[in-house]
Chain A
Amino acid sequence: MRKLRNLFLLFLLTFALVLPIHADNTEYVRDDYGELSSSEVSELNQLAAKVSKKYNVGVYIRVESSSSGYSDIEKYAEALYANETLGYGTGSSRECVALVITMSDRHYDIMAHGDTCNTAFTDYGKEELADDVKYYLREDDYYTGFKTFIEDCDTYLASAAEGKPIDVAAADPEAHANMMRNIRYGVTFGGAPLIALIVCLIIKAKNKTAGIQMEANNYIPKGGVHLTGQQDIFLYRTESVTHINRDRGGGGGTSINSGGFSHSSGSF
């Protein structure tokens, strides 16, 4: 009996030692382009693993040189999903959300697959998520950008788990009616009298025609303006980027293609 107990304890000990090694060696984050240090990859990998296990979906990041061989980055991301068997679960319904970037053309794609992920990452949500990440990618701060992606995924999946996926606010007929009613009263009882007052003041101004002259253009002789110097010196240049909302005002939800994928892609 004692021998049997020792054998059981030995089994447990052996299992306990082996378990961490095989617990999770999944490459959640892979940088084939070399933008991240190995320690950064390791930190991000742990963070992605934690979120993935928390919601039972795979959260992935892939940094590639290009999407060579594929017509666009979305096709390339779908190929990675298939070739690397990304996602949690089995078969064709593996739950996965992935950020894929190709450095040669500075393109990105956020891809979701599976019911949970497609629910959590709506079209609107993916656009918002992309905005958060692109802010750092444009500054070449890849580590922070990827960390933001993983943390946002945590937030999005948590919201979806509570039954409130991050999505465009549904049109509220009552709010719309209230807004139109306010506009109607505002324009009728505020705007119309204001315009009437401006018109009357313009007419009233015709009763005054005298005034001190402040200009003397009538007294410049022909050829009387001599430009003796002019400088137009370039100093510096600034650039600002504003994201264009495309079709965000629809009914919300997620657009899923025939392969079960949803995407949000663009350049950074």
Chain B
Amino acid sequence: MPEQLTNYQCPNCKAPLHFDPSIQKLKCDSCGSEFTIEEITAAFAEKNQEAVSIDDAKAQAKASETLQWSEEEAKHLRAYNCPSCGAQLVTDETTAATSCPYCGNPTVVPAQFSGSLKPDYLIPFKYEKEQAVDALKGFYKGKPFLPSKFSAQNHIEEIKGLYVPFWLYDGTANGNLQYHATRVTSFSRGDDLVTVTEHYQVGRQGDVDFDNIPADASSTMPDELMDAIEPFDYSEMKPFALSYLPGFLANRYDVDSNADASRADTRMKNTTVDQLRSTIVGYASLLPQVENVSIEPGMVHYAFLPVWLLSTKYNGKNYLFAMNGQTGKMVSDDLPVDWVKFFVTFLLIAVILGVIAWFVIGMMG
């Protein structure tokens, strides 16, 4: 019976391999051997193909048989056997890469990448776990209203390196803008100030090309966080290979490209208006009359982009942080506010400004 999962094991000692962002290679945890993506991809090609042959329905059926959950719950779960220790792994239906909770070996579900599910591209992680933890400490700086306990504890509940599925949209936006514009000049004539206002009809038409506007394709990823960690450097984007995944988590998409397209369209429309409008110069005012933008959709690419997700807990509430695994840019949910600090700062500033104003205006009066 072929394996449903693939463990990337060291060809030398059979210990688990994981992708090391610092060397951009797969590294053996045990003997320290390093392998390029190409070497491991070639070595595991046959094994992956066998794993793909186990279809999703069988994994689902296995989950239903094994688990004491309802049929509806089991429908969204999958059960696999760990190729290293034989333990049973239960994952959700979109899990594409994970690690065995028993032996800790990184595992990949090749079936999640078969056919149309296979991503076109991937950007490898460049930041490691320790760097993400350090970045979080730095992230607290410059936020004086953060509760002291929140930043002092810095208790990270969970940290995971995740390849998040993204749709990358190409397209061309055709814009037609019409404005009522004015130019104003003033000059003195005798004891009068004369203001002359010239009124114009201003139009701009043009096309704007867009390449690879990202929109995360995972329903479990908060859009606000995924949008905020942009941009990614696409010059480092690679053709997808399973060998990049060991050591990280990955989910396949569960939001299809049509559902996400409206987000990309909105961004293209707004940007097209801004770009064309920026060519209108020399006017004192612009009153929009027509701002029509139509979108010609282009190619849609499926890509895995690297994200570190960190979560902390404070006063019983979870706070989620996301770091761009390529650039190191970190963002967060709405963090808690120490209202005592807020009001003390408010009073301090108000009193200082008030005292200055009181004396300065007093001297003027």
- Residues of A near any B CB (own CB < 8 A): 127, 177, 180-181, 183-184, 187-189, 191-193, 195-197, 199-200, 203-204, 206-221, 224-244, 246, 266-267
24 A–B pairs (Cβ distance < 8 Å), ordered by A: A184-B357, A192-B353, A193-B346, A196-B345, A196-B353, A200-B349, A207-B146, A207-B335, A213-B227, A213-B230, A216-B213, A216-B267, A220-B208, A221-B211, A226-B207, A227-B206, A228-B206, A232-B200, A232-B202, A233-B202, A238-B199, A239-B194, A241-B192, A244-B192
> Which 9 A/B pairs are nearest by Cβ-Cβ distance?
A180-B365, A229-B205, A196-B349, A192-B353, A224-B209, A196-B350, A216-B267, A192-B354, A231-B203
Complex: A233 Cα to B180 Cα, angstroms = 10
Residue of B nearest to A181 (CB): B365
Answer whether residue B101 sits at the interface, using C-beta atoms and an 8 A cutoff. Answer: no
- In the complex, chain A residues whose CB is within 8 Å of the CB of B264: 216
- Report B-chain residues with C-beta under 8 Å of the C-beta of A196: 345-350, 353
Contact among A184, A192, A233, A235 with B362 in the assembled complex (CB-CB below 8 Å): A184
- Residues of A contacting B351 with CB < 8 Å? 192
B97 to chain A, nearest CB (A): 25
Which residues does chain A contribute within 8 Å of B200, judged by CB atoms? 232-235
Q: How far is the CA of A239 from the CA of B95 in the complex (A)?
A: 69
Of the candidates B188, B225, B336, which one forms a contact with A210 in the assembled complex, judged by CB atoms under 8 Å apart? B225
Q: Residue B316 at the A interface, CB < 8 A?
A: no
Q: Is B270's CB within 8 Å of the partner chain A?
A: yes
Please name all residues of chain A whose beta carbon is closer than 8 Å to the beta carbon of B212 when the two chains form the complex.
Answer: 219
A231 to B212, CA, bound (A): 32
Instruction: Specify the chain B residue showing the minimal Cβ separation from A233.
Output: B201
Whether the pair A266, B191 counts as a contact (CB closer than 8 A) is: yes
Number of A-B contacts defined by CB within 8 Å = 212
Beta-carbon contact of B210 and A242 below 8 Å? no
Cβ–Cβ contact B358 & A184, under 8 A: yes
Contact of A218 among B231, B348, B353, B361 (CB under 8 A): B231
**Contact yes or no, A214 B266, CB < 8 A:** yes
Q: Which residues of A contact B332 (CB under 8 A)?
A: 208-210
Tell me the smallest distance from the CB of A44 to a CB of chain B, in Å: 25
Q: Please, which residues of chain B bring their CB within 8 A of the CB of A180?
A: 361, 364-365
The answer to whether A219 touches B210 (Cβ under 8 A) is yes
Kindly state whether residue B51 has any CB partner on chain A within 8 Å.
no
- CB-contact partner of A240 in B195, B198, B361, under 8 A: B195
Q: Hey, which chain B residues are within 8 Å of A187, CB to CB?
A: 357, 361
Known interface pairs A231-B201, A244-B192; A216-B224 also in contact (CB < 8 Å): no
Interchain CA distance A157-B63 in the complex, whole Å: 105
Q: Are B204 and A229 in contact (CB under 8 A)?
A: yes
What residues of chain A lie closer than 8 Å to B331, measured between beta carbons? Answer: 209-210
The yes or no answer to B333 lying at the interface (CB within 8 A) is yes
Cα separation A259 to B200 with both chains bound (whole Å): 53
- Provide the bound-state CA to CA distance between A87 and B365, in Å: 47
The binding surface of chain A is classed by DSSP as: mixed
Q: Which of B29-58 contact A (CB under 8 A)?
A: none
A244→B193 contact, CB < 8 A: yes
Closest to A193 in B: B350
Stretch at the interface among B77-85, B239-247, B273-281, B299-307: B273-281
Interface 9-mer from B15-23, B137-145, B153-161: B137-145
* CB-CB nearest in chain B for A206: B143
Please give, as numbers and ranges, the residues of chain B lying within 8 Å of A236 by CB-CB distance. Answer: 198-199
Tell me how far the C-beta of A113 lies from the nearest C-beta in chain B, rounded to whole angstroms. Answer: 22
B358, A220: Cβ atoms closer than 8 Å: no
Q: How far is the CA of A161 from the CA of B144 in the complex (A)?
A: 70
What is the CA–CA distance of A207 and B342 in the complex, to the nearest angstrom? 12
CB distance from A215 to the nearest CB of B (A): 5
Q: Which of A177, A230, A235 has a CB less than 8 Å from the CB of B279?
A: A230
What is the minimal beta-carbon distance from B190 to any residue of chain A, in angstroms? Answer: 4
Closest B residue to A216 by beta carbon equals B267
Contact of A228 with B337 in the complex, beta carbons under 8 Å: no
B294 located at the interface, meaning its Cβ lies under 8 Å from any Cβ of chain A in the complex:
no
For B224, the closest partner residue in chain A by CB is A210
Is A221's CB under 8 angstroms from B209's CB? yes
Task: From the candidates A197, A210, A212, A225, name the one contacting B275 in the complex (CB within 8 A).
Answer: A225
Which of A214, A225, A231, A266 has a CB less than 8 Å from the CB of B190? A266
Chain B residue contacts of A226, Cβ below 8 A:
206-209
| CB <8 Å contact, B195 and A242 | yes
